[in-house]
Every structure is written in structure tokens, then in C-alpha cells.
Structure 1
Amino acid sequence: MAHHHHHNHSHSHAHPDLKGRNLLISIFLNIAITVSQIVGGLISGSLALLSDALHNFSDVLSLVISYAATKLGKKKACKEKTFGYKRAEIMAAFVNAATLVVVAIILMKEAVERLFQPQPIESNLVIWLSLIAIAGNGFSVLLLKKDSEHNMNMKSAYLHLLTDMMASVAVLVGGILMKFYQIYWVDAVLTMAIGVYLIYMGYDLLKESTKVLMLFTPKTIIIQDLVESICTIDRVKNVHHVHIWQLNEDEVHMEAHIDFVEDIKLSQFDAILEEIEEHLYHKHGINHVNIQPEFDKCDSKSVIVQD
């Protein structure tokens, strides 16, 4: 007997149109930065600029994926898609986190090669283009910062832009040191450091989005405590066959079988169900509850049953 009682709309859904608009601005800014860096990298012979352009291009792709996911996420459920596209943003976060790690590995590989073969570079062009990239990415980072705190998809886009801004800072520092001191190895060292940071941040997001996609129980919920607390409700004898999963950023679902101490009427069950829902929502943050009521049924009474 399913009951959709609470719809907990988190902070990230307060202004989805604004979220989409901010992503669009960031997409166009990054396309402009990428094109200017490719042209500048080819003219100046700077591998640093070309690798930064590659990173920026990955940003464009990640932002497009994030934008598509925010649009899809708002589509309504239908007979063929009973959950709608509610997992689109989690999928986008997973894809973006994975590409973040891949880009980091490519950057680090290039940095190692550059370390052994430093080359003289047209540093003035490198300095100016890296300043443009810092300004563009810095603006995008500020646009997405607020939403990134409440939404995995936006966080993945935000991290792409933040790390790209840091990569551009590294290119700028490298350009200045090359211009005034002819120190060509510093660019490679800074790129390595950014690569390490990228892997650290990307792995964390990859792990979190994988847990959601694999339907793991959210780490804030301790199932044994939850079951024991439901059993304190009047007329509840036993809670078993429990499944708890996170559908997306806003929705945590639970389904379970509940044994009752007596053969109660449906109207009585509805009243108890209301109490269970209130309890689960306020104590455990579960906003979609599906309970199968039972009385004297011969089935496994284990809390977790392998289906």
C-alpha cells in the first residue's frame, strides 16, 4: 500500500530555471575560452595552453551534460517512465566525475612529459589568454557555487570549472616565470598538483553518485534503529523485508512488510500508516513510504531479505 505523503523539495530545486540559465552562460563562456586557447596554444607553441584548452573542452561537455540533466529532471512521469527522469542529474554527476578523473590523468601524463622536455614558449600570449580563462571560469564558478552545495549534478559542473580556473592560474604563474626568469619546469609541477587535486575531488563525487545509482542505503540512515523505532508504534509486531534507497537528491524511498498484532481494518491501517510516515519523515528524512501490511503470514521475518 503505497503512500506519497511528503515531498521534500530541497534548496536546490527552489530555482531550477536560474540553475539552467547559469549553466547556459557558463557553456558559452567556456566555448569562447576553449577556442581562444586552442588558437593561442598553436600560435605560441604552448603545450600548457593546449592542455588547458583540452580541460576547458571537457568543461563544455560536462556543462552540456549537466544542463541536459536539469532539463530532463523536470520532465513528468508517464506510463513508460514511472519515475520520469529523476535520476538524470545523478547520472550526469557520475559521468562528469568520471571524466574529471580521466582529464586529471591526461594532464598529469602531459606534465611528466613536459618536465623532461621543457620548451621555450611565447609567454606574453600565454599570460593574456590565461588571464581571460581565469576571469571567465571565475565568473562561472561564482554562478554555480550556491547550487553546487545542494546538488550532485551542479557540484560536478562546479568542480570542472573550479579546477579549470586553478589550471589557468597555474598556466599564468608558469607564463610569468617563463617571461621573467625562464623557469620552464614550474608549469609542469603546478599541473601535476592540479591533477592530484582533481582526482581527489572527482573520486569523492564518483563514489557518492555510484552509491545512489547502486541503490545503496543513504549513510545517514541506520536500518536497525529505524526498524526498532517503528516497532514502538502501537499494534506493530514486526518490520521486515526492508529496502531503503535514494532516488535523487530530494527523494529517499522505503518499502517494507509490517506484521500487525491483530487482524485490523483498512481504516485502522491507514491511521497507523500516517503515524509511520510522519515518524520516518521527521526522524529519518524518508519522504516516500510503501508498506505491505501482514497478519500471521508465513514469510521470512528477517529485516533484510535477499529477493
Structure 2
Amino acid sequence: MSNSNPSRPHEPNEHPHPHEHEHHEHEHHEHEHHEHEHHEHDDHGHEHGGFWDEIKHLIRPHAHTHYAAALDPALANQRGIWALKVSLVGLLVTAIFQVFIVAISGSVALLADTLHNFSDALTAVPLWLAFVLARRARNRRYTYGYGRAEDLAGAFIVLMIFASAVVVFYESIQKILHPQPLSNIGWVAAAAIIGFLGNELVAVFRIRVGRQIGSAALVADGLHARVDGFTSLGVLVGVIGVWLGFPWADPLVGLIIGAAILVIVWNTAREMWRRMMDGIEPQVIEQIEHAAHHVDGVMDVHDVTARWIGHRQRAELHITVNCQLPTVASHLIGEEVRHALFHELPALSDVTVHIDPCECDENVQYHLAAHHV
């Protein structure tokens, strides 16, 4: 029983080692029988415990989302592209406002910050291209599809956030070594407020949509916008400090912001590293085991693996069934397991169920290939 969709029963005496297994593969978005209404998840019954929990939630983007149940891959990609378009326009509008203030204030520092915001807006471009690429169907060369393009874009965004931290540290140290008086403080403060509000709105929007579709890369891009907002807010705090007579306030705030950016870089990079290394949240494995165990006819569940490919999941598992069951009955159990898993894991797009018979005949070599693994 080694074909993905067996068309005939396979009797033990047809093969030298009857421990050939039946593989069940499933393209979630290609099957209409999964149009049953998926479970609506109310954050799985848990609520965030306040401000600091929300901060941790923001700086540690996780892809176990609660809204992806209603999204197929095509819709998720479409929403991701839509989010990038809207947020890109928002960032450009913010930068244009800052250009206007630069023109009437003559602030070189604000000009540099404005150019920085323009360059940051362009980080949406590689992620946009990744979402477009992910819509392409898988083929014989890229058999898992193009979902990894999203993860690669996320890694690029992490590098951009790190570059922002380097720029902040450099500018702050330069101001400490070569202090310069701030001019047009009022206009600079106004530009800082506009920069903060614009970037924060974009950040909230990207993070929310990224979590809805399970895209760690889009969440990372939202965090990048939030970093820029913190930078603008830090400029405002520094302006207030200088206005109160503390000339070192501006570079000191810059160093603090740089340190905060590095914390965000660390947590975001760690998440992207897990994705690139096929890491998965342990609770996902537990969910797979739990759902499969509760299917009638399943005697054991083992060798469970899962990974993220972009904002979708792929899983493989082995189940043990009664060795006396005919092929069709074993196949139907595998189908029930797949059906249960798609309802349990909204982000799941592919799953392979490998069926093992229980060891009820001592003359059968059930693990003939085990030494190759």
C-alpha cells in the first residue's frame, strides 16, 4: 500500500515484505469536501494579560494564528498584497508630509529622517514580490511551491531593521562627539509626531493582517514600521529635552531607541530562523497527535513532523491500524485523520498520513527499511 490514492486492495502475499505503507496526500485548497464551516477561534479561549503581554506578542511574531481558518492560500496572498499596497501608500503620504516640513524648516536632520522613511517604505517591495510569487502553482522543480519566498523576504526585512539600528547608533554617537544645536524645534517636533502616527498606523495594520493570514514576514515588516515610529517618537522626546535645556537628550534618546531596535531584531530574527530551519511550535505537534488519536481505528500516532512554508503549514505523520483491516478500510481511516487535522489546524495546506499495520504476525518484516533512516 504505497500509492497516494490506491485504486485497488493490496493483499499481503502480493509483495515480499507486506509492510509497504499507504500514503495519503492532500491539497487542502483543491478539495471541495472541506467546505464545511471551519471552527471559529476566539483566540482559543485565552486573553492577553495586559500591556506587557501585548508588547511580548508584538516583538515575538508567532504564526499560530486564529483567523486563518477562513483563508485559503490564494485569499491569504491576496490579503497580504492588499495590506502591502495600503501600508505603502500610508508610508509615502507620511514621508511627503515630512518633505513639506523639511522644505519650510530647513532641518537637515529631518531631511535625513525623511529619506530614511522613504527607503523603509521600499522594504514592502520584496515582500510584495514574495506574495505574488507564492501564488504560482507548484511544479516538478519546486514541488513544495514558492512559499519560501515569503520567508526569504522576511529575512531581508530583518536585515533592514538591523540596518536601522546601526544608523540610529551611528547618528547618536555622532551627535555626542560633535554636538550641534537644534533649530526650528517646533517644526521638527511636528514632523516627529506625524512620523510616529503614520508609522504606527502602518505597523498596526501590517501586524494585524500578518497575524490573520499567518505571515511572519508581514508581521516583521509591521514591526519594522513600528521601529520607525519609535524613532520619530524618540526625536520628539529629544526635542523636548533640548527645549528644557538638556542638549544631550537627543543623542541619549537615540541610543535607547537603538537598544530597543536590537531587541526587536533579535526576537524577529529568531522567529525567521525557526521558519528557515523548518522549526514549528511544539503545540502544533501536540494538536496533530491529539486530533489523530481521537479518530476511530487509530491505534497509535508516531513520527509526526510539521513545518511552515510561508504562511501555510505542511505535516506528515504515521498512524498504526489493525493489521487485519482491508486496504479500503485503512484508507478511510487515513482520510478521517486528514479531515480531522484540517479542522484542527486552519493554516494546514498539505498533510501526508503514512499507515502502518500493527505487528500481529511475527513472520513479517515490518521494519525492513528502518536501518536506512
TM-score (norm 1): 0.78
Greater mean deviation of Cα atoms: 165-174 or 29-38: 29-38
1:256 paired residue number = 317
2:206 paired residue number = 144
Q: Are positions 1:2 and 2:63 aligned together?
A: no
Displacement of 1:162 in angstroms is 1.7
Q: Are positions 1:288 and 2:350 aligned together?
A: yes
Greater mean deviation of Cα atoms: 266-275 or 104-113: 104-113
Q: Are positions 1:242 and 2:264 aligned together?
A: no
Q: Secondary structure at the residue paired with 1:221?
A: helix
Q: Which has the higher contact order (CA 8 A, sep 6+)?
A: 2
**Corresponding residue to 2:231 among 167, 170, 175:** 167
* AA aligned opposite 1:118: P
Note closer, same or farther for the CA distance 1:26–1:88 as it changes in structure 2 (3 Å cut): farther
Note closer, same or farther for the CA distance 1:276–1:171 as it changes in structure 2 (3 Å cut): same
**Corresponding residue to 1:65 among 126, 140, 147:** 126
* AA aligned opposite 1:214: M
Greater mean deviation of Cα atoms: 192-201 or 9-18: 9-18
2:180 paired residue number = 119
Q: Provide Cα deviations, 1:34-58, integer angstroms capped at 9, x if missing partner.
A: 86688789x5353xx3663464244
Identity of aligned residues (%): 22
- Counting only pairs closer than 5 Å after superposition, residues 220-239 of structure 1 correspond to structure 2 as 220-222=283-285, 226-227=288-289, 230=292, 233=295, 235-236=297-298, 238-239=300-301
Q: Are positions 1:193 and 2:256 aligned together?
A: yes
Displacement of 1:16 in angstroms is 4.3
* AA aligned opposite 2:178: Q
Greater mean deviation of Cα atoms: 66-75 or 139-148: 139-148
Greater mean deviation of Cα atoms: 228-237 or 254-263: 228-237
Q: Secondary structure at the residue paired with 1:289?
A: strand
2:334 paired residue number = 273
Displacement of 1:206 in angstroms is 1.6
Note closer, same or farther for the CA distance 1:235–1:146 as it changes in structure 2 (3 Å cut): closer
Whether the aligned pair in 2 keeps the contact of 1:246 and 1:253 (CA below 8 Å) is yes
Whether the aligned pair in 2 keeps the contact of 1:3 and 1:290 (CA below 8 Å) is yes
Whether the aligned pair in 1 keeps the contact of 2:81 and 2:128 (CA below 8 Å) is no
Instruction: Tell me how far apart the structure 1 counterparts of residues 265 and 191 of structure 2 sit (CA, whole Å).
Output: 26
Q: Secondary structure at the residue paired with 1:195?
A: helix
* AA aligned opposite 1:265: P
Note closer, same or farther for the CA distance 1:139–1:237 as it changes in structure 2 (3 Å cut): closer
Instruction: Tell me how far apart the structure 2 counterparts of residues 29 and 105 of structure 1 sit (CA, whole Å).
Output: 25
* AA aligned opposite 1:256: L
2:279 paired residue number = 216
* AA aligned opposite 2:278: L
Instruction: Tell me how far apart the structure 1 counterparts of residues 341 and 297 of structure 2 sit (CA, whole Å).
Output: 17
Q: Which runs of 5+ in 1 are unaligned?
A: none
Displacement of 1:283 in angstroms is 4.5
* AA aligned opposite 1:4: H
Whether the aligned pair in 2 keeps the contact of 1:90 and 1:212 (CA below 8 Å) is yes
**Corresponding residue to 1:153 among 192, 207, 217:** 217
Q: Which runs of 5+ in 2 are unaligned?
A: 1-22, 30-68, 358-363
Q: Secondary structure at the residue paired with 1:275?
A: helix
- Number of equivalenced pairs: 298
Displacement of 1:147 in angstroms is 1.1
Instruction: Tell me how far apart the structure 2 counterparts of residues 273 and 229 of structure 1 sit (CA, whole Å).
Output: 12
Whether the aligned pair in 1 keeps the contact of 2:338 and 2:353 (CA below 8 Å) is no
Instruction: Tell me how far apart the structure 1 counterparts of residues 170 and 104 of structure 2 sit (CA, whole Å).
Output: 22
2:171 paired residue number = 110
Q: Provide Cα deviations, 1:183-220, integer angstroms capped at 9, x if missing partner.
A: 32111122122222222223222211221221123232
Note closer, same or farther for the CA distance 1:299–1:28 as it changes in structure 2 (3 Å cut): farther
**Corresponding residue to 2:367 among 298, 301, 307:** 298
Q: Provide Cα deviations, 1:84-103, integer angstroms capped at 9, x if missing partner.
A: 32232222222212321232
Q: CA RMSD in A?
A: 3.6
1:29 paired residue number = 93
Instruction: Tell me how far apart the structure 2 counterparts of residues 51 and 219 of structure 1 sit (CA, whole Å).
Output: 44
2:159 paired residue number = 98
